[in-house]
Structure 1
Amino acid sequence: MEFKQINRLDQLYGCKLFLTKNELQDLKKTAFYQSQNRFIEITKPIKSDICQRCFNKIKINWKYPKNGIKYCWYCKDMGTIRSNDYLVIIKDPKQYLDNSKINWKGQLTLQQQKIANEQLIAWERKLNHLTYAVTGSGKTEILYPLINQVLLEKGRIALVAPRVDVVIELSQRIKKYFNGSMTVLHGEEHEIKYTQLLICTVQQLMKFHQTFDLIVVDEVDAFPLRNNKALEKVIEEAKRPQGVKYYLTATPSINLLRRVKHTNWKLSFLANRFHGYPLPIIQIYISPKWRKKLPIKIEKQLSKYQKNKRCFLIFVPQIEDLNLVKAMMPKSLSVATVYSKHPERSNNIKKLRSREINGLITTTILERGVTFSALDVYILGGDEVVFTYETILQIAGRCGRDAEYPNGNVWIFTADITLRMLRAKKEIQWLNSWRDHHSEL
């Protein structure tokens, strides 16, 4: 964060600033520094060749040839950090002005309430917690009692997700019921405010130091979080020393489950969707030449979308496949494309929600964290490596999330049947079976 971008220092409690020598001198001249310097710590931005923002190791060739000053290349998009700069930490005095809470009038199911109670008990005991819950189980609503309890105790909370789309949807859902101020940070939203509640992408936590009493990480198994030691360190550094971490996922890795088993983490499991209907079952069809011609089964299905109230997502393996498949779509349908750096990504998602278009052709960027009513999903090239077991499960989880439309198509078109898709199908069948045999719990 450059000093020239700082307009209101009193909004930056809990933040880290990376300043040049001149910027540091300017900071020391401000009235804020004069009155609040007891909350300010000044240290080095690179320690033992570790960047203190992204916590990656500085490579040996990352230095200027003339003076040997080191810099971090990993997080340069957030502003270059040099070894002769200064890291300024503004500690959080916890001086929150408003009494914020979530005023949600809905009612949790018995199964959801059980998980909510377990989360509250873990918070009371200051234990880390993993919620392993199927897609569409209502994980966000389950969090509301926990969030309100932490806010009541004057705690500071970060709700973290791996992708911008997830952050936007999560913030919009919570904003409907939240009576206070909150901060939303991602690649397109940069204004930091001094609030108790932050909703952000995981990279935005690099701006904070020992700030949050509770950090909730949604979709903890997703890229870029999965098996990323540096980002795990970022999360740990943004948490207060006595704070706790809550992880949410529908597809926990074996390593994560082992960590929970062998440490003092607590685990909650939920196999029920909030509306009580089972997860739609994956159907697999052999179609090796889909790049030349759409499978007949999809063509027949597409002809129905003009007349019914449903919409669709078609997942493809590569960005290059987007326009190829779009060119094969019926002219009677309105269809757009989406990928991670698509300039109209957010706008196209809005268009599908408002039914301005019939469907989206997308990469795996929309595999998780987005919800559409009355949705069918189709995977083309399901045997290609980008469609992992976890990805297939998440894509299937986009379907049937609306109580009015709890069913839908989850179709995979593939040249070969892989163990990944069979495992995903078997997992869904097992979850539905578990749900049927434990519905009274």
Structure 2
Amino acid sequence: MKKLSDYAGRQWPADVLDNSIKGQVVAIPAVQDGICQRCGSRASEKLPSGQLYCRGCVGIGRLDAGQLLVRCPAQSGFPKSENGGLVWQGHLQPRQEEVSKALLAAYKERRDILVHAVTGAGKTEMIFPLLAAALAEGGRVCLATPRIDVVNELYPRLSAAFAVTIGKYHGREEKEAANEQLVLATTHQLLKFYQAFDLLIIDEVDSFPYAGSPQLHFAAKNAVKETGCRVFLTATPTSDLLAEVKKGNLAIVRLNRRFHGGLLPVPRLDFYVRPFLRGGRLHPKLARQIVKAVKAGHPLLVFVPRIAEIPAYLAAVKAIKDLGPVRLAGVHAQDPDRLEKVEAFRKGELDLLLTTTILERGVTFKHVWVIIIAADDAIYPPASLVQIAGRVGRDKDDQTGLVLFCYHKYTRAMREAIRQIKEMNGK
């Protein structure tokens, strides 16, 4: 049986309180005055018994008005150390160093701060000194992100950089609760914590499902100790965060260059084609561009708007006469082999990967080029287009590359994405 200390800083639903832990935990009604105490939603749905329950966080286990929400207090602290277990031997560039110093200053004052940095700026490395400072003080730290893929990509990087206990939590892997000093998790997992962390860093705060979710914003606030603070990382800040900056409630630091000093790739707009696909065949102009990209030796990400379209586009790419032997696959959020396919593409075992927006951000592939089919589709807001373009040119030895918008009509979102990219490049 696990020790109660493994659940430090956590909360969970219970029908009755276990007598063996009375006095060691706090138990409150799961629903108070009609409000769910785990996610802040109004519990308005009824069970057959007539009890109200919360639909806002039902995905991680139902809470109803007849239950308790049990909270295990966080421990006072971990042992202090000289450098927080940091074993990373890399160095920050001068611009990155400035951002890192701003983060350390904000943490010293326990002030929330927003980092607005272009894609490929090296945000992960920039937070290493901050992580080290918090961990050295004996603090508990969480790095949260909306996407499972990003959690899986960051975990080996953090494990290599820090010699401390690290926990990885997301919905695709079963893991028992443990009181790790450094936690890496999806933002949904924050619903399971209560006043657990001295420092919470949320990456890709503009990304679904965190962006626009009152429940996850509530969870992010509850997961931090009253004496703790938060850091928000993004390349495309949301209007609510910028409003908090304007009010003086949130500090901000900006970085408009990639870690290698290069500019963001500006998407090509010379690909007005109609239709993209007909009779199982790609538009000849689009097919020629795919052939050109693959034969140039660059791994190619091809984005399509919807999961249902992937099989048809896979078949159409395979049918391109001049393409020759090509290793390709399609991937999407419900794909049971999603993680394996992404890793195969990263390792160079696939030449072309058809994908939805699950790979629009937070993942890095060396030398990749990008084609967006139907860039004018409503599923692509400006932030999404900027993030997809940001997959290209991230290597210091390969700072440019193809970003191609294929479209039927030139949309406001496309225009805004181009504007944002050029604005950051011009600063």
Aligned to 1:438: none
Aligned to 1:49: 34
Deviation per CA, 1:232-280, whole angstroms, max 9, x where unpaired?
A: 1111111111211110100012332121121231110101100111111
Aligned to 1:142: 126
Q: Contact conserved, 1:160 with 1:199, CA < 8 A, in 2?
A: yes
Q: Contact conserved, 1:185 with 1:191, CA < 8 A, in 2?
A: no
Aligned to 1:407: 400
Q: Contact conserved, 1:209 with 1:238, CA < 8 A, in 2?
A: yes
1:128 partner amino acid = D
Q: Secondary structure at the match of 2:277?
A: coil
Tell me by how many angstroms 1:226 deviates: 1.6
Q: What pairs with 1:87-98 in structure 2 (closer than 5 Å)?
A: 87-96=69-78
Residues in 2 aligned to 1:387 and 1:105: alpha-carbon distance in whole angstroms: 38
Q: What pairs with 1:36-435 in structure 2 (closer than 5 Å)?
A: 38-59=23-44, 62-65=45-48, 67-96=49-78, 99=81, 100-189=84-173, 190-284=175-269, 285-292=271-278, 293-304=281-292, 307-330=295-318, 332-434=325-427
Residues in 2 aligned to 1:323 and 1:162: alpha-carbon distance in whole angstroms: 26
Residues in 2 aligned to 1:210 and 1:96: alpha-carbon distance in whole angstroms: 15
Structure 2 runs not aligned, ≥5 long = 320-324
Residues in 2 aligned to 1:176 and 1:298: alpha-carbon distance in whole angstroms: 41
Residues in 2 aligned to 1:40 and 1:317: alpha-carbon distance in whole angstroms: 47
Residues in 1 aligned to 2:133 and 2:379: alpha-carbon distance in whole angstroms: 40
Deviation per CA, 1:282-314, whole angstroms, max 9, x where unpaired?
A: 101101200224243442333346654420111
Tell me by how many angstroms 1:54 deviates: 2.2
Q: Contact conserved, 1:160 with 1:218, CA < 8 A, in 2?
A: yes
Q: Secondary structure at the match of 1:420?
A: helix
Q: Contact conserved, 2:294 with 2:352, CA < 8 A, in 1?
A: no
Residues in 2 aligned to 1:353 and 1:93: alpha-carbon distance in whole angstroms: 39
Q: Secondary structure at the match of 2:282?
A: coil
Identity %, equivalent residues: 33
**CA RMSD of superposed structures (Å):** 1.7
Aligned to 1:20: 15
Does the C-alpha gap of structure 1 residues 279 and 253 become closer, same or farther in structure 2, counting only changes over 3 Å? same
Q: Secondary structure at the match of 1:327?
A: helix
Deviation per CA, 1:28-75, whole angstroms, max 9, x where unpaired?
A: 23xxx3xxx55411111111111122221111xx2233x422222332
- 4+ residue runs of structure 1 moved beyond 3 angstroms? 97-100, 295-298, 304-309
Q: What number of residue pairs does the alignment pair up?
A: 416
1:337 partner amino acid = G
